[in-house]
Amino acid sequence: MKKTLITGAAGFLGSHLVNKFLNEGHHVIGMDNLITGNLKNIEEFFSNENFEFRNHDVSKFVKIDGELDYILHFASPASPIDYLKIPIQTLKVSSYGAHNLLGLAKDKKARILVASTSEVYGDPLVHPQVEEYYGNVNPVGPRGVYDEAKRYMEAVTMAYNTFHNVETRIARIFNTYGPKMRLNDGRVLPAFIGQALRGEDLTIFGDGSQTRSFCYVDDLINGIYKLLLSDCETPVNLGNPSEITISDFAEEIIKLTGTSQKVIYQDLPVNDPKQRKPDISKAKNTLKWEPKVSREDGLKITYGYFKGLSQEELNKKEHNDFEQYIIR
């Protein structure tokens, strides 16, 4: 039986990866320090004898006994609100954390896949974004702690690949959505659905002309699995190229939820990307992968998940309290 370590296991993508790898017959070690993750996302796996959970911060030394076949590094805050509140931790998990896990992969002769992001392209001047594009990132802007941490992670991953011959894979992940997203994480899709369910007006930052491309989580997880098992060592875009403006997306959410709220506009945050759309030619050709779930179908499933939340969860607007994780 293959043994796989998944970091960020109690997060949105991490919890879906745990499910995927258990279903594929792996013994899974889920690791998370729960700074943004939630045990509720993985409680269904605690009774599975092939799953074990470890509460650990991967920016500190990571020790795993015995053999290890695969490592998937998905630990990181992923919401702008999170990484503006915990900028140092955001930098450390993709720098120290990546370094620790690459060292572990070297020691165990394991293959490692790191979760990079479309944010390495910053506010792109090339559209759609291809893997060869170097990006347009402000390293000292408020979002730089996330963008540059992920860019460093890609660099150190390739260094371990070329210098130490570690088997590495890099997934550049674009906007993804689905069940187990945090409703109050500040990202546009859960924010819109949460506002609609609470009967509030939908808030658009900027004039709504900025675009995003949303990939349903099951499609993304399949892409990650295919990339891990492929021979591709250079970064690969994984996302859905179906692009939509935020204004049009707000109208889709209002139609989906059957609510009658209006849309209100506020100032656009600093360095917020104006457009996002992956070129997935490489994934199509190399992995034989492309998304299958339409936005309409994916949104119905996601809306059903959010509708099933308790009233307390639905009305929780405060973001995570990170005080215990911050050294002052």
154-177 as b/e, with b when 16 or more CB fall inside 10 Å?
A: bebbbebbeeeebbbbbbbbbbbb
Q: Whole-angstrom Cα distance, residue 296 to residue 287?
A: 25
Helix, strand, or coil (residue 199): coil
- Catalytic residue chosen out of the listed positions 146, 160, 216, 225: 146
CB atoms within 10 A of CB 232: 16
Q: Whole-angstrom Cα distance, residue 48 to residue 221?
A: 20
Active site residue 216: no
Q: Quick one: which of 127, 72, 81 has its CA closest to 105?
A: 72
Helix, strand, or coil (residue 315): helix
Angle at 180 between CA 15 and CA 249, to 5 degrees: 130
Q: Residue 117 has which token pair?
A: 């992001």
CB atoms within 10 A of CB 50: 15
Catalytic positions are 146
